[in-house]
Structure 1
């Protein structure tokens, strides 16, 4: 009991620091998820499982690319390296890294958008979408692509602000985007106030305008008030080794996201093989699970920033304390979602689709109850991964993600879903296995590679 009490006791000032950074980050990501959630809910009421499946597979295609190349790669690299330079009080060097990272990201964003736009139909075909979904999905993707570069640039500016502990501004950006998207979704999907009824195209247009509005707010703030600013002079005298530093951190982080995202996309293709009812039930469950990810993501952001700042200062003991505190708090919050998914599965699924789709609701509720058991290990995986990144290690999380996604998840899904055509609930049992192994390995490797003082557990 003494061991448990010592490891669960938390320093009040450390808790305050972690919550100060993590809570705005949690709200930010919940609001970003709400943009997709609002699209899914409104389109579910407007067009049933066909509309839900269209937006689901289209978003999988879009965000697979943007997460791998920017949101979970360059943005992670920027936060990790700038946080440590800021902690070391090397402010000019921090700004140089930030500028190089955003400049590189702008180029990547433009190329990515052009690729997705011109190959949207082929990407949907590769993803295994049915003809009815392909025609709608192409329209959705092409409209969203108009605002996609602004979305990716916002992600990198948010990474710059987070690196010095400012998670409030990215949260405000997400509020702006949600308000714009929510308002325009209702107007453009259903054709309110004299506007044409655009359905799926209306949802895409609302998302595009919201992305542009969010970037505008973020760019103005970063230019005028950010402690770490973007200066064109650093691009004129581009430093090769700093570009290499960012790239070396970003590539493993991007590969980690690729391991998850590509596996998730391939999984979606195989699940689509089960039909639109199973796919719609799965997409709604994924949407709810994405909301549950947000606390874990927020505490992971706090861990990366606070640990990175303290590592930059050379205070490794405090870095470990911040990591441990973020882990305990994040795990506690995500256990709340475990209870919600177990107690109210049917009610939660009904929020996303009309009551007439009884088969989708029944399947979705069953999937959500299985997803409830994943929450603790997802929390450990996300937050410990964030701590690794604060130390500047993006390789270990990538290796574990590759193992669990490609050597556990995909083979099992191929056998049980694609070959044997087992019920969609089987897929969620596979996910439970994947996250259990993922979180356990990250925890074990962290305790071995980053040994704390007095042999205390890190979490």
Structure 2
């Protein structure tokens, strides 16, 4: 009985740590989503060409996130491991090296944005007006790549160290500055010129500059456990190699998922404009429902990494399983609510009856898969926190290319289920992906990975 009591207290302690780490990440993601939504509403006032330019331009910019994900995944794993081992100085050194690496990698991105943005948009099939306006947006945003990297990597390192509140505060400042500058520069308010889409790009870029300044001030004042200005060589190849060795599979995973997503959407397009519209509505709802999953995934990664660094192997494993349980309970609740209110939610986005009916079915199919993606997020997060970034890559590639796409064709066209079959394939794939990462985590092989 005493052993059970001690175990119960230990689990409660772990759950409390998970919640403390997760809720700021959830709020940060919601804040970022709200900011993007407000920006799109403002740009939407300029007309369809403007909103298409910013929308397509943002997709191009998002591709660069794969580079940031590579660096951040390695940073989180190493920082968490060093913090757990009480080697705070080395954790700060990892942050320093990741920022230097981010600055180096931002240079080719800036050059690509400056010289090839028109060509990229043309290859995507954009109309002439969208190419011209969208290229301006991409060039300005890519010029600020070094500041975007600094924000992204600083937040990742702090979360790996167990500090999820500081990134929330900085994100709040960045979001407020972004919205204010965009309002002034898009519409020409308070004496500023009305720059339209160009103003939206400048506002976004400057907000990341402000975020960078805030992070530097925080690090200079020693307000966090990480010391950015640790002693050591300015450029240390071995640390950078370790960051990229851990992070490259995570970046590859994201690229593979994005390519698979494009192919999947091409299948949906076959069923017509209403089907595509319904699909986009469902995906927007899904992205919002994923927010808790991101929070629990980050908590899982940080706690697993820290416990491994502290040689607390059992606590590391418990952190992963407890994160999964809490996330699944949250996602099941969200899933149930979405299933019930699918029609009112769909009606918010569109008036067309056919599109609404399709959206309702799609939202309900997605709702069935939301708990599975919660499992994937948290267990994949645990594996990444341990430095095992290859297995989530394998699970995603097998899931998307071995299940989702073939099953979409099989159910949609050969089984005669049409669009519904295509959508069902995506939900099935979520469960396949979650089973694969759970299998890996249960095997315990991640416990012995050297970072």
TM > 0.5 = yes
- 8 Å CA contact 2:89–2:230 kept in 1: the answer is no
Structure 2 Cα separation of the partners of residues 13 and 407 of structure 1: 39
Structure 1 Cα separation of the partners of residues 153 and 287 of structure 2: 21
Using the TM superposition, give the Cα deviation of residue 439 of structure 1 relative to its aligned residue in structure 2, in angstroms: 0.9
Using the TM superposition, give the Cα deviation of residue 43 of structure 1 relative to its aligned residue in structure 2, in angstroms: 4.5
Instruction: Decide which moves more: 240-249 or 276-285.
Output: 276-285
Tell me, yes or no, if structure 1 residue 261 matches structure 2 residue 258: yes
- Aligned partner of 1:62 in structure 2 is 61
Tell me, yes or no, if structure 1 residue 339 matches structure 2 residue 336: yes
- 8 Å CA contact 2:23–2:295 kept in 1: the answer is yes
Taking the TM superposition and a 5 Å limit, the aligned residue runs for 1:404-423 are 404-411=399-406
Using the TM superposition, give the Cα deviation of residue 449 of structure 1 relative to its aligned residue in structure 2, in angstroms: 3.5
Over residues 170-193 of structure 1, what are the superposed CA-to-partner deviations in whole Å (9 max), with x where a residue is unaligned?
111211122223334445555666
Using the TM superposition, give the Cα deviation of residue 33 of structure 1 relative to its aligned residue in structure 2, in angstroms: 2.3
CA pair 299-377 structure 1, distance change in 2 beyond 3 A: same
Indicate the RMSD between aligned Cα atoms, in angstroms. 3.5
Structure 2 Cα separation of the partners of residues 256 and 450 of structure 1: 20
CA pair 9-85 structure 1, distance change in 2 beyond 3 A: closer
Over residues 141-174 of structure 1, what are the superposed CA-to-partner deviations in whole Å (9 max), with x where a residue is unaligned?
2333233331222111112211221000111121
Unaligned 5+ runs, structure 2: 1-6
Over residues 44-66 of structure 1, what are the superposed CA-to-partner deviations in whole Å (9 max), with x where a residue is unaligned?
56646x66554443322211222
Instruction: Decide which moves more: 373-382 or 119-128.
Output: 119-128
SS at 2:162 equivalent: coil
Instruction: Decide which moves more: 283-292 or 200-209.
Output: 200-209
- Number of equivalences: 441
Q: What TM-score, normalized to structure 2?
A: 0.85
- Aligned partner of 1:3 in structure 2 is none
Over residues 416-449 of structure 1, what are the superposed CA-to-partner deviations in whole Å (9 max), with x where a residue is unaligned?
89999x9766553332122121112111222123
Q: What TM-score, normalized to structure 1?
A: 0.83
- 8 Å CA contact 1:188–1:198 kept in 2: the answer is yes
Structure 2 Cα separation of the partners of residues 129 and 270 of structure 1: 20
- 8 Å CA contact 1:289–1:371 kept in 2: the answer is yes
Structure 1 Cα separation of the partners of residues 387 and 180 of structure 2: 40
Tell me, yes or no, if structure 1 residue 74 matches structure 2 residue 80: no
- Aligned partner of 2:389 in structure 1 is 394
- 8 Å CA contact 1:33–1:290 kept in 2: the answer is no
Structure 2 Cα separation of the partners of residues 33 and 144 of structure 1: 18
- Aligned partner of 2:91 in structure 1 is 94
Structure 1 Cα separation of the partners of residues 269 and 83 of structure 2: 46
Taking the TM superposition and a 5 Å limit, the aligned residue runs for 1:196-235 are 200-224=197-221, 225-231=223-229, 234-235=232-233
- Aligned partner of 2:117 in structure 1 is 120
- Aligned partner of 1:430 in structure 2 is 425
